Amino acid sequence: MPENVVYDVVGVGFGPANLSLAVALTEHADDLTSLFLDRAPSMSWHGGMLLPGAKMQVAFLKDLATFRNPVSRFSFVAYLHDTGRLAQFVNNRDFFTTRRDFHAYLDWAEAGLADQVRRGVTVTGIEPTGNGDSMRVLMEGANGTDSTEARNVVISTGLVPKMPPGIAEDQYVWHSSRFLDNYRAVRGPLRRVGVAGAGQSAAELVRYLYDHLPDAEIFAFVPSYGYSVADSTPFANRVFDPQGMDDFYSAPAQTKSAIWQYHKNTNYSVVDDGVIRDLYQRAYDEETSGRDRLHFHTMARVESAKRMADDTRVTVYSMLSDSSYELDLDVLICATGYDPMDPAKLLGGMDGCLARDEEGRYRVRRDHRLVTASESACGVYLQGGTEHTHGLSASLLSNIAIRSGEIADSVAAAKRARR
C-alpha cells in the first residue's frame, strides 16, 4: 500500500455497486483519487447461485453506467460491441440477459479499472485518524494486516445470507448463496434433496436440481400455498426509478411503510413467472408420466435439521395440519433469503460520530452519506443497508448508476468546499 496517500474515496467491497462507483469517479469532471478493496480474489457476483440459464431480474440498460451517462464506455452495450455480440444480442429481443452474461460484463468492466482495485483483502474496521480530515481503513490479507487513509469511505459489502433460526450450515445443510461450491464438492450420489423457501433462489434451485439429478427425489418446503409471482409490471416497476428513490426518501414514515407493504412483492418471497411455469410444467408432466419425485410441501416451514448417521433429519412444521413431521434427506438447502447489508461492525470505531434515528438505524442523507453527530470533513457513504431511507432499490442494481453518480458528485462538492 503506498505510504502517505490519502484517497478521496476508499470503497469497501467491489461488487456491482462499487464497480459502478469506480466508473462514475473515472468519468467525473473533477479529479478524484480512489481505491477499492474486496476480500474475494476475483469478481464473484453471487457465484454460488450462478446457475446455467438463470436470467437477470433487471433490464440490461440498468447497467453500471447508462442511466447516469448513456454514452459511457462502461455500458452493457459497449461491452456487447467490444465482444462482437451486439447484433446477436439484439436479435434475441430480450431485455433480460442471463446472469452469466452479466457476470462476464462485470469482469470486462473491472478489467478496465484494474489499477483502482486491490483484491484478496478483508476490511476489518474504519476509524477516525484524529486529525478530523480523514479516516483509516484497516484490512487483513494473505500478507497480514495493512491500512490506508481516506477522506471518504463508501461501504458496499452486500446482502448477508440468513438461515432459519436454530439451523446452522454444515456439510449437508447449505444456504443457497453457497450452493454451487457445496454441490460441486459432494461425494457420492444425492438421492433426496430438500429446498426450503418460496423466493427466486428456492424456485431456481428446485428446477435446477430436478433437471440435473434425474434419479433424485426433490422436496420443496414452501411456506405459502404456492409460489407467488414477482410483480414486474410497468407501474409497479416505477418504485425502482430514480424518482421512486426521491419520493421514498422525502415521504413520511407511515408512507415509507405503506410503499414497502404495497410493493415488497416486486422482490421478496416472489418468483419470476417463467420459473413458476417451468416448475408447474414439470409437476404436471410427472402426473402424466406416473413418475413421482418432485414433492411440494406447501404451507410448510423447516424448523430444524440434525445429522443422524448418514442422513440429515429435517423437522418440518405444516401450517395445514398444525403439526410437525420429520423427513430424512441427504442435503437440505435453505433458500431462506438475506438480511440487508449491516455496516455497524466495520463502523465500530466511528460509532460515537454517527447519528441514529429513534429505532437505532443510521441516519442517512439523500446523497447516501451517513449523518454525523457533529460537522465532519470526512464522509461515510452506504451503497446498500439504506432500505429504511432510500427504499426498495437499496440492495438492488436498478439505481446503481444514478446512486454512484450522486456519491461521486457529493464527494467532489465536499472536496471543492475544502479548498
Q: Print the binding letters for residues 140-159 with ligand FDA: x by CB under 6 A, - otherwise.
A: ----------------xxxx
Identify what 336 binds: ligand FDA, ligand NAP, none; CB under 5 to 8 Å per kind.
ligand NAP
Return the amino acid letter for 320. L
Identify what 398 binds: ligand FDA, ligand NAP, none; CB under 5 to 8 Å per kind.
ligand FDA
Do the beta carbons of residue 46 and residue 56 sit within 8 Å?
no
Q: Which residue is nearest to ligand NAP (CB)?
A: 199
Identify what 204 binds: ligand NAP, ligand FDA, none; CB under 5 to 8 Å per kind.
ligand NAP
- Dihedral, CA of residue 69, residue 72, residue 74 and residue 76, to nearest 10: 70
Give the 3-state secondary structure of residue 78.
helix
Give the 3-state secondary structure of residue 294.
strand
Residues interacting with ligand NAP, by CB under 6 A? 49, 54-57, 99, 164, 176, 196-202, 204, 221, 223, 267-269, 301-302, 335-338
Strand partners of residue 339: 160
Q: Which of 66, 116, 398, 404 binds ligand FDA (CB under 6 A)?
A: 398
Identify what 197 binds: ligand FDA, ligand NAP, none; CB under 5 to 8 Å per kind.
ligand NAP
**Which residue in this structure is represented by grid cell 446523497?**
367
Sign of the alpha-carbon torsion through 174, 180, 185, 191: positive
Does 263 bind ligand FDA (CB under 6 A)? Our answer is no
Q: Which of 97, 134, 372, 383 binds ligand FDA (CB under 6 A)?
A: 383
Closest CB to ligand FDA among 264 and 415? Answer: 264
Sign of the alpha-carbon torsion through 254, 256, 257, 259: positive
Minimum distance between the CB of residue 12 and ligand FDA, rounded to whole angstroms? 6
Does 402 bind ligand FDA (CB under 6 A)? Our answer is no
Identify what 391 binds: ligand NAP, ligand FDA, none; CB under 5 to 8 Å per kind.
none
Minimum distance between the CB of residue 302 and ligand NAP, rounded to whole angstroms? 4
**Subset of 115-134 contacting ligand FDA (CB under 6 A):** 122-123
Q: Print the binding letters for residues 14-53 with ligand FDA: x by CB under 6 A, - otherwise.
A: xxxxx------------------xxxx----xx--x----
Minimum distance between the CB of residue 26 and ligand FDA, rounded to whole angstroms? 17
DSSP per-residue string spanning 386-418: -HHHH-GGGGSSTTHHHHHHHHHHHHHHHHHHH
Closest CB to ligand FDA among 55 and 192? Answer: 55
Burial of 260 by CB count in 10 Å (0-12 exposed, 13-18 middle, 19+ buried)?
middle
Closest CB to ligand NAP among 160 and 258? Answer: 160
Q: How many CA atoms lie within 13 A of 292 on its CB side?
A: 1
Minimum distance between the CB of residue 59 and ligand FDA, rounded to whole angstroms? 9
Minimum distance between the CB of residue 145 and ligand FDA, rounded to whole angstroms? 13
**Chain centroid to CA 391:** 15
Minimum distance between the CB of residue 306 and ligand NAP, rounded to whole angstroms? 15
d(CA 116, CA 172): 39
Identify what 269 binds: ligand NAP, ligand FDA, none; CB under 5 to 8 Å per kind.
ligand NAP
d(CA 47, CA 28): 31
Does 173 bind ligand FDA (CB under 6 A)? Our answer is no
Minimum distance between the CB of residue 128 and ligand FDA, rounded to whole angstroms? 19
Minimum distance between the CB of residue 381 and ligand NAP, rounded to whole angstroms? 22
Distances (CA, A) of 64 to 53, 59, 71, 109: 22, 12, 12, 9
d(CA 137, CA 128): 9
For the chain, the helix, strand and coil percentages under 3-state DSSP, each to the nearest 5: 35, 25, 40
Minimum distance between the CB of residue 308 and ligand FDA, rounded to whole angstroms? 31
**Chain centroid to CA 8:** 26
Identify what 89 binds: ligand NAP, ligand FDA, none; CB under 5 to 8 Å per kind.
none
24 is written with which cell numbers? 462514475
Torsion-angle region of 93 (φ positive above 0: left; ψ -120 to 50: alpha; else: beta): left
Return the amino acid letter for 256. K
Identify what 12 binds: ligand NAP, ligand FDA, none; CB under 5 to 8 Å per kind.
ligand FDA
Burial of 185 by CB count in 10 Å (0-12 exposed, 13-18 middle, 19+ buried)?
exposed
Binding site for ligand FDA (CB under 6 A): 12-18, 37-40, 45-46, 49, 56-58, 122-123, 156-159, 201, 383-384, 395-398
